[in-house]
Chains A and B, each alone.
Chain A
Amino acid sequence: AQSVTQLDSQVPVFEEAPVELRCNYSSSVSVYLFWYVQYPNQGLQLLLKYLSGSTLVESINGFEAEFNKSQTSFHLRKPSVHISDTAEYFCAVSDGGSYIPTFGRGTSLIVHP
């Protein structure tokens, strides 16, 4: 079974600063990788996904993530964060065997003015 590790439970950062949220997964032959965002009292929303092709994927609101197969990582980055990016971020992995998404524990991104 897949396992997902999000190394940081909380990441505080000032507005307009860059940020990286880390995600590592247990290795598998073929994996599909996702980042979700959860705002308070809401469900999870897909931020971006890697299925195949280019290892760098982007979202519409400036986030990007890079699939690194050798390091089994899928870190999320944004060059300049906004107050509105304050939320919980979840990394998820599914593999070609079960297609069941396994989620990390989440990272709370806190953007300070």
Chain B
Amino acid sequence: DAGVIQSPRHEVTEMGQEVTLRCKPISGHNSLFWYRQTMMRGLELLIYFNNNVPIDDSGMPEDRFSAKMPNASFSTLKIQPSEPRDSAVYFCASSAGGYTEAFFGQGTRLTVV
């Protein structure tokens, strides 16, 4: 398996624009996580899906953020409208569920100017 695949690797956008980050989890994994990494706050969980259903979205900053998982092999994280404070590295991770470890993608570095 190619691992967790995220796209794009880098995204530079202007404030107010819509941004969509994409993730393909490892085949057979039923848990998917979106994390955000910044120097100030470290690694924060944004949302957790299990079997394509959002289980915990308490980490989503505000209504500007939304995440979907239409099927077991694809998830998106959308920010609309984007703001400079959204600049961060966004990671997608998947696991086989339960106490198994999470496998991370390479991340998307988002810069909002």
Chain B residues with a Cβ closer than 8 Å to the other chain, count: 21
- Closest Cβ neighbor of A42 among chain B residues: B106
- Asked if B33 and A101 sit within 8 Å, CB to CB, the answer is yes
Q: How far is the CA of A45 from the CA of B42 in the complex (A)?
A: 16
B101 and A46 contact, CB distance less than 8 A: yes
Majority-rule SS of B interface residues:
strand
- Mark each residue of chain A from 15 to 59: 1 if its CB lies under 8 Å from any CB of chain B, else 0: 000000000000000001010100000111110010100000000
Is B98 engaged at the interface, CB distance under 8 Å to the other chain?
yes
Known A44-B91, A104-B42: A99·B101 in contact at CB below 8 Å: no
Closest to A92 in B: B102
**Is there a chain B Cβ closer than 8 Å to A71's Cβ?**
no
Contacts of B98 on A, CB cut-off 8 Å?
99
Q: In the complex the two chains form, is A99's CB within 8 Å of B31's CB?
A: yes
Query: Which chain B residues in 57-113 approach chain A with CB under 8 Å?
Result: 91, 93, 97-99, 101-107
Residues of chain B contacted by A49 (CB below 8 angstroms)? 101
- Decide yes or no whether A72 CB sits under 8 A from chain B: no
A43-B104, A49-B101, A106-B42 known, 8 other contacts, Cβ within 8 Å: A34-B101, A42-B107, A96-B99, A99-B31, A99-B99, A101-B33, A103-B35, A103-B42
Contact sample, A vs B, 26 pairs, CB 8 Å cutoff: A32-B99, A42-B106, A43-B4, A43-B91, A43-B93, A43-B104, A43-B106, A43-B107, A44-B43, A44-B93, A45-B104, A46-B101, A46-B103, A51-B99, A90-B43, A92-B102, A99-B31, A99-B97, A99-B98, A100-B45, A100-B48, A101-B33, A101-B101, A101-B102, A103-B42, A103-B43
